[in-house]
Structure 1
Amino acid sequence: MIFAENKPLTEPFSFILLKKLCSLILIIVLLFYISNQISQFSDTLIKPKIIASRENFNYGNIIIRICSLIPINCNFTSIILPYNYHNETDLKYYLEHPNPESEQCESAEPILDDYVHHICINSGQNYYYNFNYQKENKIVLTPNITEAYLYGLKMDKYYSSSFKLTSTIPLFIVNEQAVIVYYSLTINKRMVGNYLYSGLVGGKEEEFVDFNAHTDNITTLTTPNATTLILRPISMDIIYHVEVFNNLSSIISNIGGFFSALSGIFVFLFGTTKLAP
């Protein structure tokens, strides 16, 4: 039997040089990737990313808050708006053929949390009412009132309005005139407290609603000894905005996955698990 002597294989110098060069390039790519991940992480600590989505629901009420120095009566009529709200022909028909029956407004419970104000600027008593957000609601309040607020949204849960913003800014109203309130709904989900802490380990989340509202007074339509509010949604959809952070765990996971991918490429090219020369 003849035994062959096992001799170590020698690699050509050009192949060794190519392997070292590729290894160096992959390490530089990895360093650039790590730098990019750290940069994205730093950016989201200052300004989190916003993920937006659009939803449509067939239920839900908006809540308004009314201030008055004396007890008030609240009655309303409503019309069901078509799903395709942007169809002007259908919309005109619905607006010209409202439900003639007037109903008493449904009282609502105040939202009890740290971000909602219940103080009337001009003093007086608070009154809270529910209205279907997918209908146009014509609300008649007698006698005259002092302030009116878009206060919150009630669906599967209560959403207060805008972190001390909308809830403290009254709608522009003129007593004994009709005021159209145009609005669209955006639900925001955001971190509260220290952004740095939230980005590192996660923090407390709060959800609130923006009404994106503006008003238009109808000076030709007077309502003696009463204030008329016409709540008119400009969209049937609700927009969701969710703040997203790149936290440390996701950064580490991304870097680990990228390193594994580079190592796989190196093994495929050179048949070795050693990335560095």
Structure 2
Amino acid sequence: MSKTAVWILMGLLILGLGGFGVTNLSGNVQSVGSVGDTKIDINDYARTLQNEIRALEAQRGERLSFAQARELGLDQAVLGRLVTTTALEDETQRIGISIGDANLRDEILNIQAFQGLDGKFDRQAYEFALQQAGLNETRFEEDMRAETARTLLQGAVVAGVRAPEAYGDTLINYLGERRDISWAVLARADLQTGLPEPTEDDLAAYHEAHQAEFTTPETKAITYAWLTPDMILDTVEVDEDALRAAYDERSAEYNQPERRLVERLVFLDSAAASDALARIESGEASFEDLVAARDL
């Protein structure tokens, strides 16, 4: 990675970090992992880790650096918890578990943090709480819907699902049911009177009643020649002007906009980001070394 790219990356990180606060950053790296088809968003990981650090700071009454948080295993604990919730979310999506808008509305109205002094839902309190958490209404409601679906699945996994008694009885009866049958094969020689010989009228009547069994579907025979561009490539001359005109008509298919790949590494404060930048510039470590050191 060039020094210019590193400076741009670190600048974005420093601007996006306030204390331990983390905002959404643009770039191609959007997740720290995935379970099935469901990805673990990098901003969710940073926000959850930030909340854990703040909670521990409140308990200890002192600031906590990221290095101390790593020594305590907070980063891995947060990642493990997100992997668990993502696994449940991926399974709910796979089997189609969800809740309706009415149920989601009731869940939100019953959250005490969103209620005013009269015990009723207060929109200002709702918006303020989301702002403090760094969420918008759409994202919060999506998270609530997913969390409620995960709770339903988790409850079924932990507590088990009791099948109705009628279902159990039906299944047992089906598996345990036994029947005895007797059968015999009868041929023409076993009949005392034999089988009557059909007349022409009998045969005609049977044919008339079962025409589909004696009718072959209509078929057609075709003759074709297989010709591909590769077969005539050396025998056909294409005019240069015609080629240029065809290229101009489809130039959008051949001209693609310039693309750049930007890699980013999230730090909890500007001091850690500056230290990482200094190590990269001095040659002490590469960007990939910093990523590997954090087990990402």
TM-score by length of 2: 0.19
Please say which structure displays the higher CA radius of gyration. Answer: 2
Indicate the structure with greater strand content. Answer: 1
TM-score of the aligned structures, taking structure 1 as reference length = 0.20
